[in-house]
Amino acid sequence: MLIKKRPDLAEHQVTDETLYHARRDFLARCGHLTCLSLFGGLLGCGDEASSATQTPQWLSDQLAQAQPPQPAFTTDETRTPFEDVTRYNNFYEFGSDKGDPARHSDRFKPHPWSVVVEGACQKPGRYALEDLVKPHRLEERIYRLRCVEAWSMVVPWVGLPLASLLRRFEPDSRARFVRFETLFDPQQMPGQAATFAAIDYPYVEGLRIDEAMHPLAFIAVGLYGKPLPAQNGAPLRLVVPWKYGFKSIKSIVRIEFVETQPLTTWERSAPSEYGFYANVNPAVDHPRWSQKSERRLPGSLFSPRVIPTRPFNGYEEVASLYSGMDLRRLF
């Protein structure tokens, strides 16, 4: 997302430039990985160990019993194939090339896992994943995912409403925002160990409390009926379908109820390019590219499926959350 794009460049030229930078990044990281492998013996490439094999039985059982999507939470648009959803990722903790998260996450351990809940609520504490997920009947939701980079997918997530989870911690009246944090563990996440990391870690995101409580906001623990792969944010991630994908923070380890708007990773990194609200909005271009349309995946470089981008990514029912706000200024 930090790659400079000149407005006079065609899409395929931009892709080339992205790949160019990503490759340089990747080579730099590989040098670093080699050192860690030699001295620490912890990291390596090429074996078939997979985070999916560590899935606990209770989670497999719950995924198997997930409810089909309710009409309000699905779409008849063609689902993006599993291979594309799990091979074309943004998860900078594993590298900035779209293939890096799948390539470099095979040693990532999503189990056991716990999440610290703190701040303005009655039930703070450290909660095991099992305690967070088990009380909920999982459900499928087929959502569009629109990245700020102007590509999009349709993903069948499995999980639980964010509001149902948050209510269990009994947030009080001081809780005006919710702040989320991703795991920081450079031994498992090689992108965090890179000498020149693309962004500051841990990755931080946030929502206003009413956004977080909206029925569309979702916590995913699976996709395509399977446990969430590491590259998609195992074992639990946020999915906020009306916002650009960078709001949907992965591999969450901390949830904090706060009084003031949290400073989020991309806003901190480039405030003129990435705002806190980040609602999908075709009327507000990114300073370096248009947001009027998107490339629906899969598609090839030579026959991209370009479709118009819709306000709030087509989830207009959230518009009332922003009545009276200038969404050009609060982008």
- Name the site residues for ligand MTE (rule: CB under 6 A): 1, 89-93, 145, 147, 182, 203, 232, 245-246, 248-251
In whole angstroms, what is the distance from residue 144 CA to residue 152 CA?
7
Q: How many CB atoms lie within 10 A of CB 68?
A: 10
Shortest distance (Å) from residue 266 CB to ligand MTE: 8
Place of tokens 């620490």: 40
- Nearest CB to ligand MTE, comparing residues 145 and 217: 145
Shortest distance (Å) from residue 183 CB to ligand MTE: 8
Helices marked H in 82-181:
82-87, 100-104, 129-133, 162-167
- Nearest CB to ligand MTE, comparing residues 127 and 274: 274
Shortest distance (Å) from residue 58 CB to ligand MTE: 24
Name the token pair of 287.
Answer: 């300073």
Shortest distance (Å) from residue 323 CB to ligand MTE: 27
- Nearest CB to ligand MTE, comparing residues 94 and 120: 94
Tell me which residue has its CB nearest to ligand MTE: 245
Coil vs helix vs strand at 317: helix
- Find out whether 26 and 97 touch, Cβ atoms under 8 Å: yes
Name the token pair of 8.
Answer: 């006079």
- Nearest CB to ligand MTE, comparing residues 120 and 212: 212
Shortest distance (Å) from residue 102 CB to ligand MTE: 9
Burial string for 194-219 (b: 16+ CB within 10 Å, else e) reads beebbbebbbbbbbbbebbbbebbbb
- Nearest CB to ligand MTE, comparing residues 120 and 148: 148
Name the token pair of 277.
Answer: 């609200």
